[in-house]
């Protein structure tokens, strides 16, 4: 249809894709059909306008109520409309490829995969082939300085160390740690990762592979603070504003984001730990993989997750403290369903009067270094602070 769209653009799949009008309502269904009609009649400008109207409607639906209550149909529809809108923008050639890429990334962040994750492939195509004027790196030459920056938490004395081992057999890991719900740090478990070779995950590399990709950033010291917020910016903007900034203001954190689903070029740089095959899920069920990328001082407040977790440290170092679930009462979880997995206690500035039992709860701790991987059992409480610019990858599995 147009030279600006790649050969893999799924024209036929879009024509055949079925959306149940009962699931979204007849008015929205008719608007969606008009969008399809205008796109395939090559009235791209009007198709884009209809897409804008649909996006506004779906966005409101996605952001009403709790995210877990949003049906998959609405998320898939958002992805499909994003795909058509990006295609129309590229086809009529009036917009910039960067704008089409932004549409794709919003669809990837808020939507759900369809058509063999076609929106993912289109975004990668735009970033690699159509962005001709990418911003030049700023201060990336200082990346080594950020990696080796001295810890501001001076004189960290590890009083209750987490056990450190070399790689274990699956049977030994299951018997010694998984079955007994004991945390452990692995040395050497990430040596074969491409991300660990020759400083591959430099800031220059991240800019080249994903610099203009839109990602959600947490702004503020920790998610329990009243001033905490979220924003959407490109990875290059995040690096410039929060990693390389000469005089940084608020802390910014690319936290708990499924970056590797959004950007497959980065996914090929990491490997799922073999131990995840011990999952109780279906045989082909992969763990949930999240990225944690930020400057020195980012904090994950004391909290627990319901699944097994491998925290793999690629760049930088983090201080980690762990508490066994049996001491939950002494950790003073928030009341209410939203933050019930998070402690009210500031681990580094404990209010002894308000939380008198906290200091009596035993814990283990470590400084997790680049190349090390920490196993955190389900519902094990953990507090984490980055000691330098840091990039971690977590694997959550059943």
Predicted local distance difference test score (pLDDT) of residue 144: 52
- Strands ordered across the beta sheet of 229-234: 164-166, 184-187, 372-376, 308-315, 390-397, 288-294, 252-257, 214-219, 229-234
Range 145-397: architecture per CATH? Sandwich (2.60)
Kind and range of the H or E run holding 30: helix 26-40
Of 144, 161, 69, give the one whose Cα is nearest residue 315: 144
For residue 212, how many other CB atoms are within 10 A of its CB? 20
Of 179, 165, 385, give the one whose Cα is nearest residue 297: 385
- What single-letter DSSP state applies at residue 18? -
- Cα distances (angstroms) measured from residue 2 to each of 11, 96, 220, 350, 395: 12, 15, 44, 62, 40
Strand partners, 254: 293
Domain ranges for the chain, please list them.
11-130, 145-397
Is there a contact between 375 and 184 (Cβ–Cβ < 8 Å)? Answer: yes
Strand 164-166 versus strand 184-187 pairing type: parallel
pLDDT averages per 10-residue partition of the chain, 398 residues: 82 91 88 95 95 96 83 94 96 84 96 95 94 60 47 72 95 96 96 88 93 94 80 95 82 95 95 92 81 95 97 97 98 88 95 97 97 98 96 96
Phi, psi at residue 281, to the nearest 5°?
-80, -165
Tokens of 318: 């983090």
pTM of structure = 0.90
Predicted local distance difference test score (pLDDT) of residue 138: 53
Predicted local distance difference test score (pLDDT) of residue 151: 44
Predicted local distance difference test score (pLDDT) of residue 93: 75
């Amino acid at each position: 249809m147009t030279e600006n769209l790649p050969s893999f653009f799924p024209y036929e799949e879009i024509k055949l894709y079925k959306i149940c009008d009962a699931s979204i309502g007849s008015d929205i269904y008719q608007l969606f059909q008009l969008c399809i009609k205008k796109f395939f009649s090559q009235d791209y400008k009007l198709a884009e306008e209809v897409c804008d109207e649909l996006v506004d409607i779906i966005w409101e639906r996605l952001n009403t109520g709790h995210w877990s209550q949003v049906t998959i149909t609405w998320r898939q529809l958002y992805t499909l409309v994003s795909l058509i809108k990006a295609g129309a923008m590229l086809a009529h050639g009036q917009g910039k490829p960067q704008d089409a890429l932004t549409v794709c990334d919003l669809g990837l962040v808020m939507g759900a995969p369809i058509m063999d994750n076609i929106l993912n492939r289109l975004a990668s195509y735009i970033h690699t082939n159509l962005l001709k004027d990418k911003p030049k790196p700023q201060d990336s030459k200082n990346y080594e300085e950020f990696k080796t920056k001295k810890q501001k938490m001076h004189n960290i004395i590890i009083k209750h160390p987490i056990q450190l081992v070399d790689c274990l057999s699956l049977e030994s890991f299951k018997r010694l740690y998984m079955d007994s719900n004991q945390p452990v740090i692995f040395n050497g478990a990430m040596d074969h990762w491409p991300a660990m070779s020759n400083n591959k995950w430099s800031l220059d590399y991240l800019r080249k592979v994903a610099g203009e990709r839109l990602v959600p950033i947490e702004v503020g010291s920790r998610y329990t603070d009243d001033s905490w917020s979220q924003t959407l910016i490109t990875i290059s903007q995040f690096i410039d504003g929060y990693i390389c900034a000469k005089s940084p203001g608020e802390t910014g954190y690319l936290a708990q984001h499924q970056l590797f689903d959004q950007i497959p070029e980065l996914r090929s740089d990491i490997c799922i730990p073999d131990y995840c095959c011990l999952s109780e899920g279906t045989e082909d069920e992969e763990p949930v993989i999240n990225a944690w990328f930020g400057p020195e001082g980012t904090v994950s407040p004391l909290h627990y997750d319901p699944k097994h977790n491998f925290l793999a440290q690629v760049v930088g170092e983090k201080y980690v403290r762990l508490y066994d679930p049996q001491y939950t009462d002494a950790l003073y979880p928030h009341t209410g369903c939203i933050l019930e997995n998070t402690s009210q206690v500031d681990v580094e500035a404990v209010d002894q009067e308000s939380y008198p039992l906290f200091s009596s709860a035993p814990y283990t701790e470590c400084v997790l270094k680049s190349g090390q991987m920490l196993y955190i059992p389900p519902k094990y409480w953990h507090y984490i602070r980055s000691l330098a610019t840091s990039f971690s990858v977590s694997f959550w599995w059943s």
